[in-house]
Amino acid sequence: MKRRTFLQRIGSILALLGLTEAEWLTLGNRYSQALAQSNPRKLALLVGINKYRKSPSLSGCLTDVELQKELLIHRFSFASSNILTLTDEQASREFIEAAFLDHFGKQVKSDDVVVFHFSGYGTRIKLDESSETLQKALVPTNENLEIQDEKIATYLLEETLLLLLRSLPTERVTAVLDTSYDAPNIIQPTGLKIRARQDLAAQLATAELEFLKQLKTQNYLSNAVILSATSDPKQVAKEALFSGFSAGLFTYALTQYLWETTPATTIHFSLSHVDSAMYKRGSKQQPKLITDKKVLTSENLWLDQNASAEGAIIAIEDEGKTVQLWLGGLPAQVLENYGVNSRFTSTNGQQLILRSRTGLTAKAQISAIETATPLEVGQLVQESIRVLPLHLNLAVALDSGLERIERVDATSAFAGIAPVASIITGEQAVDYVFGKLLETPSRYGLFSPGGLLIPNSAGEVGEAVKVAVTRLGAKLSHLLAAKLWRLTENEGSSRLPIKGSLEIVNGISPKVIGQRETLRTVDSKTPTKKPLTTPNIPIGSRVQYRIENKGDRAVYFMLLGLKNYRTAIAFYPWQTVEEPNTSETKPLLQQIVIPAGETVILPQNSAASGWTISGPAYECEHQLIFSTAPFSSTLKALETPKYPPSDQQPIGALVNPLEIAQAVLQDLHNASITTAEMNGTANDSYILNVNQWASFNFGFQVN
């Protein structure tokens, strides 16, 4: 279909939106200069819709567009003039389709790179009254019209989009769809927004059906890669409130990881990390990769990446003394607790000191203006020093469905355990939500930010609010400990070259079911592969960790974990030593050291490899933490009569998890090199140097 035909199709919508044809053509001319560029060019169309005419507003879709745009510009060298964004009232079906063909159709050539992104509602609808099959559709801002008492759906069919993508004369086409299609009947009371809604219209617009019919008559040679927020029709795409902004769980996790990944990282590997990140937010939605291609790396899709980074300089202020940073590359849980005086290093070696942060943007002071090469907008920045608060607690929200007296009682009860948890009100990021079970409103429990009931947190029917909070008190200390050790995660920024693999031990050879590696030190020539989703481990299996220290320094190892959101655990091997002047032996905890350039398998047990995974079914996460200095404070906290010598298992429960977690952070702080300039910060903060520690998170399910 010719461009003139498509412009004619959107003539009526231009008037409706208050745009003249000249304004539309001016919008298109912004990208005409790309025609003169040499191949390969990179073009993107990003669509995000928060405000709908009929449906409740969403909150994170415009942030998704911003996240994707900043990633493409600073991380994958897209020219800003080649990125077209359609948001809110601009994102009608007619505009999206016309922009697709005007922005992509008339420009894209062989070997060009194309990215399409959509964040908003999805739904299902019948193509016509006689059809029995429901079709997936993206819901634009002008979702339906009422004509002679009939509702006409102005949806963009997913099939239409896929045919448009396949019509482009390049193999490097990627679509990111942060939406879902089946709205659940029951949503747990967490205030989380779901990007799916039931169809409100009875008939699909004739223009969309005719357009689809015409597209089906063409021959298609290319194959687009689709990254979908969900892998199952019944899963829902969610958006959450983070630290000062809302965003889609999928988009934020995907873009955050792509800031830090390497050209050789496969898309399967990337999506496994995205799945893990969403799982940590309490969401079981799993991303899906749709493609016929056998091996895909991010290099295949977006080409010549810049160096990995945690962010970029987006503005220079105060006569070059301060800069504005975009921090899209920091993990969500780290960003929410990122302290003032944290430091970044620019690509020209300049040190930038964090002074304030609002959402994903921050202001930083240049440490030595006189001796530095002038900074430029667009330069990437990498984390060098992480500052974390010395005193943290769990941020717990009260579900809006609680009655006033219930909220008063809950607030009073939580005040009694304030050092561990505190009530958060208003638009703030939370760790957990206290509320009722919808199926049994007289029961109280703890929910994740993603809306899942925390295992073992629901009380008995008729339980009083204060009794419920008191009952949860012991669990909360374990959850707070897990929050602290998760803040050590730095797989993307660590400078220690370490690789960890979780393996199931069998009679032939170990099977790798999970793998993590410090991305900034990875070999860029060898693609890294990994299972796509959170692994399942059968009950009765024997498992082990294989740790490779690829550096020239010995490192010390510590494993902490959380079993079924209830029990904090740790790996603490015992060493049996003989008491002097007696035949008795005394068990002592020992430091685990991994020599430079060597591979160690843990646990090391001469009788049998690995440790046995016992039932019943449960969820578990392990934090593997490495340091260039011994975990002296941690072992001191572990060496207590509370751990009987008779219970010398490789992995055991912790009775003082919060003390252990704080000791680990203190050990990492002690291992880091702090300057005199930061000594004042050290009094109320942990200061961690990326050259001195590495930390991975492994999550798995036992069933």
CB-based contact 547:594 (threshold 8 Å): yes
> Do the first three CATH levels of 3-302 and 394-486 match, i.e. the same topology?
yes
The residues facing 340 across adjacent strands are none
pLDDT of residue 607: 54
* Band of residue 14 on the pLDDT scale cut at 50, 70, 90: very low
Lowest mean pLDDT segment, chosen from 313-317, 370-374, 619-623, 651-655: 370-374
pLDDT in tens, 526-570: 545 444 467 889 998 989 999 999 999 999 999 999 988 778 888
Query: Rounded distance, CA 427 to CA 408, Å?
Result: 19
* Band of residue 629 on the pLDDT scale cut at 50, 70, 90: very high
CB-based contact 568:637 (threshold 8 Å): no
Residues 6+ away with beta carbon under 8 Å from 81: 30, 31, 33, 34
CB-based contact 503:537 (threshold 8 Å): no
Helix ranges (H only) for 416-526 are 465-486
* Band of residue 91 on the pLDDT scale cut at 50, 70, 90: very high
CB-based contact 652:643 (threshold 8 Å): yes
List the chain domain ranges: 3-302, 311-389, 394-486, 498-702
Specify the higher pLDDT residue, 351 or 130: 351
CB-based contact 73:302 (threshold 8 Å): no
* Band of residue 644 on the pLDDT scale cut at 50, 70, 90: low
Short-list 453, 401, 696, CA closest to 558: 696
Query: Rounded distance, CA 137 to CA 90, Å?
Result: 18
For the chain, percent helix, then strand, then coil, each to nearest 5?
Answer: 25, 30, 45
CATH topology for 311-389? Elongation Factor Tu (Ef-tu); domain 3 (2.40.30)
Question: Which of the 8 DSSP states describes residue 349?
Answer: S
pLDDT in tens, 26-74: 333 322 233 334 457 899 999 999 999 888 999 999 999 999 999 999 9
pLDDT at 450 over 60: yes
User: Could you tell me the pTM of the whole model?
Assistant: 0.87
Specify the higher pLDDT residue, 575 or 659: 659
The 3-state secondary structure of 78-136 reads CCHHHEEEEEHHHCCHHHHHHHHHHHHHCCCCCCCEEEEEEECCEEEEECCCCCCCEEE
Specify the higher pLDDT residue, 625 or 449: 625
Burial state string for 153-192 with b = 16 or more CB within 10 A and e = fewer than 16? bbbbbbebbbbbbbbbebbbbbbbbbbbbbbeeeebbbbb
pLDDT at 306 over 80: no
pLDDT in tens, 145-169: 766 567 888 899 999 999 999 989 8
pLDDT at 483 over 90: yes
Specify the higher pLDDT residue, 263 or 389: 389
Q: What CATH architecture applies to the domain 3-302?
A: 3-Layer(aba) Sandwich (3.40)
Specify the higher pLDDT residue, 125 or 19: 125
Helices (H) and strands (E) in the chain, counts: 16, 40
pLDDT at 648 over 60: no
pLDDT at 474 over 90: no
Of the options 3.40.50, 3.30.930, 1.10.3470, 2.60.40, the CATH number for the domain spanning 394-486: 3.40.50
